[in-house]
Amino acid sequence: MANNKQYHVAVVGVTGAVGQKMLGMLEQIDFPVEKLYPLASKRSAGKTVTFKGESVEIIEATPDAFEGVDIALFSAGGSVSKQLAHEAVQRGAVVVDNTSAFRMDPEVPLVVPEVNPEDIQKHKGIIANPNCSTIQMVVALEPIRQKYGLNRVIVSTYQSVSGAGNDAVEELKDQSQALLNGEDPETNILPVKSEPNHYPIAFNALPQIDVFEDNHYTFEEMKMINETKKIMHDSELKVAATCVRLPFFYSHAESIYIEIDGDDISIEDLQNTLKDQPGVVLEDDINNQVYPTPLSAEGKTDVFVGRIRKDLDVANGFHFWVVSDNLLKGAAWNSVQIAQQLIQQPGGLK
Amino acid sequence: MANNKQYHVAVVGVTGAVGQKMLGMLEQIDFPVEKLYPLASKRSAGKTVTFKGESVEIIEATPDAFEGVDIALFSAGGSVSKQLAHEAVQRGAVVVDNTSAFRMDPEVPLVVPEVNPEDIQKHKGIIANPNCSTIQMVVALEPIRQKYGLNRVIVSTYQSVSGAGNDAVEELKDQSQALLNGEDPETNILPVKSEPNHYPIAFNALPQIDVFEDNHYTFEEMKMINETKKIMHDSELKVAATCVRLPFFYSHAESIYIEIDGDDISIEDLQNTLKDQPGVVLEDDINNQVYPTPLSAEGKTDVFVGRIRKDLDVANGFHFWVVSDNLLKGAAWNSVQIAQQLIQQPGGLK
């Protein structure tokens, strides 16, 4: 890092699945944290978190809790962000928000550092972190788009329960054990905690992530569609998504179809385009059964790409399979990367 | 049924996951079985199966075991079918083969009774039952194709372990319990028993079903592509598939994108087209979170369709979600339906 400045860093929602991973990522890259502000709901205030081997007391997330904070990483749900992000900005913090609260706000940059790092500089206090399933897709697509252009994306997702929080992780464990014991599973969380109906996720697949919109797409599907266009600055890009929750704990996988410019591109061309990109790991060797899976990607910060195939009918069409840890690159790591770029800007954090 | 004729019916591979379901389907529709021939490998000979409340001894599947058989339902793997199907035909049986051995043979009809029942009459002794993931897709697509035409299909599958046999079902149970106990899972069966590498399926997703072909598609993917064109008698139809094995026991689900003729078709038009079709059940009511899942389809013979959406960019494009029990409509029930149609033909079985 260019200077030795240390920062006051708040993590809002520090007890959640993503908040915990944010602490881990800050530690892992040795982010210059002078003082950590672990913020959470009143219920968790007074408990402690461990950061760099030290126990730090959790503070209730109130407007005044942001006094003195330089960078605030938010991941406590959209309503908390709507309530407190501007309060933090007013007190001088730059907010990196990992909820859907501001993502489509034209005044707020929506950033994946491998794709549109230049947008960070346009911030007016808040920078939005995209949805987990969007991030891993655009990281894999951007090198292809840069080299060959990109006209169309059709994605079907295979998403882990951790995207719905720690309660959903526990629910999958409990339901799995119940069904293995021949008992009826309790259903309280998935597909969407706030919705009237809950269905078993253990040994099942639920084609609903988040609530339904009027156009019959879910909000999760519309996030993938709208966020991809915003991040790539291409409102004409055709994007369609089907989002499905599945019984694994961590990582999301995606079956992606794309149409690019040019009809004489080979599988090897795409493999070569992806293999040396920052943040991308090519795992595509069918002769040795090499391809990414949710378990193989768990705990890693990269986006893994495999199963690259040429469409058999459409000359400019390709299919592939993308996997990444939804809590890391899909959330905590992307947020910490944004924070890292913020402090590395010429002139530092501003 | 038009006549009271009773038949000698062989089930080859009677101890397998599909063979067991074939017995169940024959019982359920009260198929006119005069004598059941439960055939299996030498290893199982002498054991018994229960059929209509009676215990019947399993016989080793040899050429002579087909003497006197009218209809032989094969589901013991492609090599057994290649070895014994013609032997059964030579001895006077009509074979309904649920393996990939003869599916693409131009002399062998490939039949889904809701789609191309007329092809049954073209048989020369063998009728092939399509791959499980193909069957449920074409049942859902055919009414749309009949009404609106069909130009393009892109499918991503969510397939249960029972498609890989009883061993894979046990492996998922054992691995799930091991992982819940914090132990390492044993990997012996999936993704493909005969391949060198095995990976955990519990709490994971494996983007490999069957072996890889030279074009980087798996054999399962190529089955979906080629069989769909053959069943629909449309070699020009564009079909692409990505097949993924997932940690649930029964039913396959599919995220399907189609392009039809005409760009002023509504979601309601497609719902109305599907809702009264034989073998199809529309479960598509987003206001009440109604959509099919693998658990909800388990044990049922229908194909369930939900999540119908219009593509947001391509006027003649639609997305939807199709689920069916892979061992029933995907295998045993489709085979028994073919047998049922065979004996109901004018003139009966011939």
Express as a percent the part of chain B with pLDDT over 70: 99
Compute the distance between CA of residue A194 and CA of residue A108 in angstroms, rounded to an integer. 27
A252 counts as catalytic: yes
Tell me the pLDDT band of A1, cut-offs 50, 70 and 90: very low
Residue pLDDT, tens place only, A175-213: 999 999 999 999 999 999 999 999 999 999 999 999 999
- 3-state helix, strand and coil shares in percent for chain A, rounded to the nearest 5: 35, 25, 40
pLDDT at A4: 81
Give CA separation, B253 vs A160, A238, B296, in Å: 16, 25, 11
Contacts of B242 in chain A (CB under 8 A): 156, 255, 307, 319, 321
Residue pLDDT, tens place only, A90-123: 999 999 999 999 999 999 999 999 999 999 999 9
pLDDT at B262: 85
Contacts of B173 in chain A (CB under 8 A): 180
DSSP classification of residue A311: -
Express as a percent the part of chain A with pLDDT over 90: 96
Express as a percent the part of chain B with pLDDT over 90: 96
Residue pLDDT, tens place only, B132-183: 999 999 999 999 999 999 999 999 999 999 999 999 999 999 999 999 999 9
| A182 → chain B, closest CA residue | B173
Q: With left for phi above 0 and alpha for psi between -120 and 50, is residue B296 left, alpha or beta? A: alpha
Residue pLDDT, tens place only, B21-38: 999 999 999 999 999 999
Contact residues, A window 178-207, toward B, CB-based 8 Å cutoff: 180, 191, 195-197, 199-200, 203-207
pLDDT at A160: 98
Q: Domains plus CATH for chain B?
A: 7-130+331-344 (3.40.50.720), 134-325 (3.30.360.10)
Residue pLDDT, tens place only, B277-328: 999 999 999 999 999 999 999 999 999 999 999 999 999 999 999 999 999 9
Query: Among partner residues B191, B249, B317, which is closest to A203 by beta-carbon distance?
Result: B249
- Tell me if A41 sits within 8 A of A348, measured CB to CB: no
CB contact under 8 A, B321 and A207: yes
Q: What is the CA radius of gyration of chain B?
A: 20
B243 counts as catalytic: no
Residue B1: is its pLDDT beyond 80? no
pLDDT at B3: 61
pLDDT at A194: 96
Contact residues, A window 273-332, toward B, CB-based 8 Å cutoff: 286-289, 291, 293-296, 306-314, 317, 319, 321
Residue pLDDT, tens place only, A300-336: 999 999 999 999 999 999 999 999 999 999 999 999 9
Chain B interface disruption, residue of A179, A203, A227, A322, most B CBs within 10 A: A203
Query: Pick from B248, B342, B200: which is nearest to A185 by CA?
Result: B248
